Amino acid sequence: VGRGREVAAVEDLVVKEGVRLVTLTGPGGVGKTRLAVEGARRLGPGFADGVRFVDLGVVKDAGLVMDAVAAGLGVNTPGLNRRADVQSYLRPRRLLLVLDNFEQVAEAASLVAELLGAAPGLVVLATSRTVLRLSGEHEFAVQPLPVPQTGLALEVAAAQQYASVRLFVERAHARAPGFELTSANAGAVAEICRRLDGLPLAIELAAARVRMLPPQDLLARLGDPIGLLTGGPRDLPERQRTLKATLDWSFDLLSADEQVMFACLGVFAGTFDLPAAEAVCGRAGAPADPGPGADLMDMLGSLVDDSLVQPLAGDGEPRFKLLETIREYALERLRGGASWQQAHDRHAAYFLALAEPAEAELQGPGQLAWLDRLETAHDNLRAALSWLAEQDRIEPILALSWGTWRYWWLRGHADELARYGENLLAKSERLPPRQRALALSMTGFTLITTGDYAEAQAVLEPSLPLFREAGDKLQLARASGAVAHLYALRGQLTAAGRLLQESLDLLKEIGSDELAGDQRIQHGLAAAEAYACLGQIRLLVGDPDGAARLFTDGLSAARQVRDRFTMLISLYDLGLSSQAQGDLAGAAGHLNEGLALAAEAGDLSSVAYYLEGLAAVASQQDMPDRAVRLLAAARPLLQAGGSGWLRTWVPRAPQDDDVLTALRSRVGDAAFEQARSWAESVDATRAVEYALGKDNPA
């Protein structure tokens, strides 16, 4: 099911001139045998002497492989003559020989080379977790079936486009003839396929359970896929009747050192690179380490060759991952040994060390590269925080979350960090005043971005006296600015203005000339944020000229520290104040600059806000057709952008259906539909190019 392209690719490879040996590789349960059988069935007519299939799954000794091949070919001669007789049988023939499950008799690879050398018309199609390492071998890596994207709500027709879903439905229907994919269960089926990484064996075993459990209940019980997925067809080998048996089969073929390393790698959630693997699994002298003389890089390469670890394509340093079902199995193996605690502690320590420079790097010119780096590490950061919380280690939790909080809210994960923050605050009475203040402010900053303003204020206000007590004037200024912003959002403009002025006075008292690099950046950010909020207050009370001066000061402070996200706030604010002053060309200039910055950062929600701002300017400039295009292009980006952090830091005019209705009346129905249709058909890059005058819809 869903292997049409792969079968065609295998056929093309096998019949290619000069190709004598093709090895299908992949993890247990990925469908290598089924693909080989189907490929051989289609290729059979092209071989004058047909196809022979040899199952090596029951052969434990490499010395018995020749006997198995002879039996598969029908060569029944005494053992002493068998090697020569098999070669004699094959020499005149044009034949495709399928050798299934070669991984456990890998030492017999030289036998394959002998047969290919003796029989020029022989072509071998092998399946194995690892390549045979013979000259002239062509590897075909069999991947899991495609699965729906995470968080994608699917209707029945859309879900059926995915081969993994079709396989589940077909196998479920075979076990429970009344089963159908419906709008009620399509989402659960899609999520099951995602959780099982598109691994065909796991999907088939899960689908068999629908006799007893509907997909929604099956999904709820899928926390332990290794234990749940049992009971495959009785005519399959025992190792293919449960997912655990399949993985046991693969694990038992590893060396002792490889088994230790594989289990240790289970602590990585998501992807990892070689330095991470070395830090967590390769420190000498600890119980989780491989034995003396073991080379970690070689072992990792062996695990890749054995299809237990997946290499990921990319331009940078190589990265790896374990399929989630395989990772669960690795963790089960790790849990059964003495290294569970040590491996998790090392994992947490590695990502704590990663977070240490992140606090400074996420503020200033290096922030984009660090946002990408932390996004790559997101799953592992979450896993480290969860482990530390489980161990009740609040100081490392604070260090990790404080060092990375700006990443969590800029990349749309603020809700997630807020949950860790709430857990941290529940135990923060044990912390010294400054650390407790950091925990409060980090959680408060995060809650602002989630839109929970009342709770954010309740958390942030107690941090101010703690920062005063600790004598940390810089963090006091930043937290005061955030509290003032919350006052302004709730209409308490006088209190907000007073606190903002106190924050700016404090920053002037500190000065920036004597501060170290990261503190100097924080000083600039606090000033930029305070100027922005003061300017917004001036705008609210009808003083656009005063607002513009403050926004300009804020932009200058942000530029000095080269922090693009604070620049996005100031540029958007300047666009609003220029509009209020009647300077539409100036407004467009500020918004265009901010739009280009947001697009460069891949910040789709901010791109959408800037498109909306430019739509308002276009409407005032009597360009309603352009306004429709910009506004319609912004709408899907708001839904797809993830973060939406900018909405909590800038005032934004409503962009509802009434606005579009008014624009329709100005441009006419036909032109309106044409403009909206164009906007809905383009991606973010095209929309930005149009907004910046680099694209003509005509």
pLDDT tens per residue, range 361-411: 888 788 899 999 999 999 899 999 999 999 999 999 999 999 999 999 888
Question: Helix/strand/coil (H, E, C) string of 426-486?
Answer: HCHHHCCHHHHHHHHHHHHHHHHHHCCHHHHHHHHCCHHHHHHHHCCHHHHHHHHHHHHHH
Q: How high does pLDDT run on average in the chain?
A: 87
Rg (CA), the chain: 31
How far apart are the C-alpha atoms of 98 and 22, rounded to whole Å? 10
Exposed/middle/buried for 627, CB within 10 Å: 0-12, 13-18, 19+? buried
Q: Residue 271 forms beta bridges with which residues?
A: 321
**Mean per-residue pLDDT, 122-146:** 93
In angstroms, the Cα distances linking 160 to 125, 425, 479 are 31, 45, 50
How far apart are the C-alpha atoms of 72 and 374, rounded to whole Å? 53
DSSP 87-135: HHHHTT--EEEEEE-GGGGGGGHHHHHHHHHH-TTEEEEEEESS----T
DSSP 332-383: HHHHTSS-HHHHHHHHHHHHHHHHHHHHHHTSSTTHHHHHHHHHHTHHHHHH
- Residue 195 has which token pair? 């959780």
Say which range, 134-143, 217-226, 369-378, 465-474, has the weakest mean pLDDT: 217-226
Q: Given this model, what pLDDT does residue 521 score?
A: 84
In degrees to the nearest 10, what's the CA dihedral of 271, 272, 273, 274?
A: -140
Q: Given this model, what pLDDT does residue 516 score?
A: 74
What's phi and psi for 254, nearest 5 deg? -80, 155
Residue 388 DSSP label: H
pTM above 0.85, yes or no: no
- Taking only the tens place, the pLDDT of each residue in 500-539 is 999 999 999 888 777 777 788 888 889 999 999 999 999 9
Question: Is 508 or 154 the better-scoring residue by pLDDT?
Answer: 508
Contact status, residue 618 vs residue 630, Cβ threshold 8 Å: yes
Query: Sorting pLDDT into bands at 50, 70 and 90, what band is 594?
Result: very high
Q: Given this model, what pLDDT does residue 225 score?
A: 60
Question: Is 510 or 123 the better-scoring residue by pLDDT?
Answer: 123
- Taking only the tens place, the pLDDT of each residue in 222-280 is 665 666 555 555 555 554 456 777 677 678 878 888 899 999 999 999 899 999 999 99
Q: Given this model, what pLDDT does residue 249 score?
A: 67
How far apart are the C-alpha atoms of 200 and 196, rounded to whole Å? 9
Give exposure, 186-219, as e/b (b: 16+ Cβ within 10 Å): bbbbbbbbbbbbbbbbbbbbbbbbbeeeebeebb
How far apart are the C-alpha atoms of 10 and 429, rounded to whole Å? 63
Relative to beta strand 271-273, strand 319-321 is antiparallel
**Mean per-residue pLDDT, 107-114:** 93
Task: Single out the residue of 31, 37, 129, 53 nearest to residue 98, CA to CA.
Answer: 53
**Is residue 303 classed as helix, strand or coil in its secondary structure?**
helix
**Is residue 21 classed as helix, strand or coil in its secondary structure?**
strand
Q: Given this model, what pLDDT does residue 284 score?
A: 38
Query: Which own/partner pairs from 664-667 qualify as long-range (CB within 8 Å, at least 24 positions apart)?
Result: 664/628, 666/624, 667/624, 667/625, 667/628
Query: Sorting pLDDT into bands at 50, 70 and 90, what band is 683?
Result: confident
Contact status, residue 225 vs residue 281, Cβ threshold 8 Å: no
Contacts of 592 (CB under 8 A, 6+ apart): 614, 691, 692
- Taking only the tens place, the pLDDT of each residue in 484-502 is 999 998 899 999 999 999 9
Contact status, residue 691 vs residue 632, Cβ threshold 8 Å: no
**Mean per-residue pLDDT, 197-215:** 82
How far apart are the C-alpha atoms of 50 and 56, rounded to whole Å? 20
